[in-house]
Copies of this chain bind each other. A is one copy, B any other.
């Protein structure tokens, strides 16, 4: 594995590979890697010929009151993990490399960034789209991999790539979970032992909603009420940003009668960790 810090070196390597007919797979991350990230790396390794992973904690996708400073980092461990997975290139740029000179340009996706996490993190998706556009320009991948835990992010970035005619396929892969069901997240590092247990109620709540849908409930209000009740029964689950049922393509809120496919999604605080999780409810 080669660790590169200069964007132009990465572009050169990507172009050399493409000139030889190789396809480039790319996994952008903020580091502090877990099995969720590694599942994306393995998909890239299997499905493409050159596997590029980036580690960069992007400041512009954090709001002023969010956890940019606290966000967990461990480059040494991450690097070893990626080496073991057979990654070809680790791109670990500096802030200066990613935001050179003027920082006047922003990429924005409208409408589908307004609900869910976008409603509570007003600068988040503009920061995500801008940094991912930059990373895409540096890496020029054929396929880019994202996790379905950040479902809205994947939809937004797929829309960005299509709208801007980037010759890049955005693939979203299933959420990887701990044995007890907790969705893997770098932010799980914020949880103490009690909070770790309480965090399980997110999946439990989602499953309650899924069961109701399977039993034929068509009223989204009733489904979401039942989901909220499960969360509220756990005292360590703090304020809930949202509990929503949306169309997985348009991210529009579903109305009665609920139709499938649907996405049932939660964002809630457990201690200082803002956790998100979702279940995709497929057509029949």
* Residues of A in contact with B (beta carbons under 8 Å apart): 7-8, 11, 15, 18-19, 98, 100-112, 129-130, 133-134, 137-138, 140, 159-160, 162-167
- In the complex, A169→B159 CA distance in Å? 27
B108 near A105: Cβ-Cβ < 8 Å? yes
Q: Using Cβ atoms and an 8 Å threshold, which residues of chain B touch A107?
A: 105-108, 164
Question: How many chain copies?
Answer: 2
> Measured between C-beta atoms, what is the minimum distance from A126 to chain B in Å?
9
Name the contact of A19 in the complex, choosing from B8, B11, B18, B98 (C-beta under 8 A). B18
List the B residue with the shortest CB-CB distance to A21: B19
Across the interface, which residues of B come within 8 angstroms of A19, CB to CB? 18-19
Cα A201 to Cα B167 with chains together (Å): 46
Q: Which residues of B contact A164 (CB under 8 A)?
A: 105, 107, 130, 133-134, 137
| A9–B100 CA distance with the chains assembled, in angstroms | 33
Given A15-B18, A19-B18, A110-B106, verify A101-B165 contact (CB < 8 Å): no
